[in-house]
Amino acid sequence: MHVNDNCFETRCNEGRFTLTQHAQERMATRGLRADAVAAALAYGRVVYVRGAYVYAIGRKEIARYAEEGIDLAACDGVQVVVTSPGYILTVYRNRSFNGLRDRRNSRRSRLALAA
């Protein structure tokens, strides 16, 4: 994984990501380091929510990669919001993944069960 100023390259097939000015400011104010963002892009789960991809590291990713000898404990809750061309819009830490659920599908499934 390579970090260069405002570009991130991951070891996976995800490709290159460009950090926006807004994301750089959020990293600074929220105390998130570039290696935590790069780890989320390389090892985090990917969910498409509200028009953007969210890369997130939670307890499942920490446990999974711990078995492979990769320590992601310091990155618990890091979430990175990325547009489809690869621009990182914002970064934050939130250990609750409730906002990453597809609300449309969950409502449909509840209606189907009620019928």
Domain range list for the chain: 2-114
Structure-block tokens of residue 32? 């998130």
pLDDT of 81 above 70: yes
Task: Please write the tens of the pLDDT for every residue from 23-75.
Answer: 999 999 999 999 999 999 999 999 998 899 999 999 999 999 999 999 999 99
Structure-block tokens of residue 51? 């028009």
Spatial contact of 82 and 17, defined as CB atoms under 8 Å apart: yes
pLDDT of 16 above 90: no
Spatial contact of 40 and 75, defined as CB atoms under 8 Å apart: yes
Q: What percent of the chain has pLDDT over 70?
A: 72
pLDDT of 105 above 60: no
The larger pLDDT score, comparing residue 59 to residue 11, is at 59
Spatial contact of 29 and 90, defined as CB atoms under 8 Å apart: no
The larger pLDDT score, comparing residue 66 to residue 94, is at 66
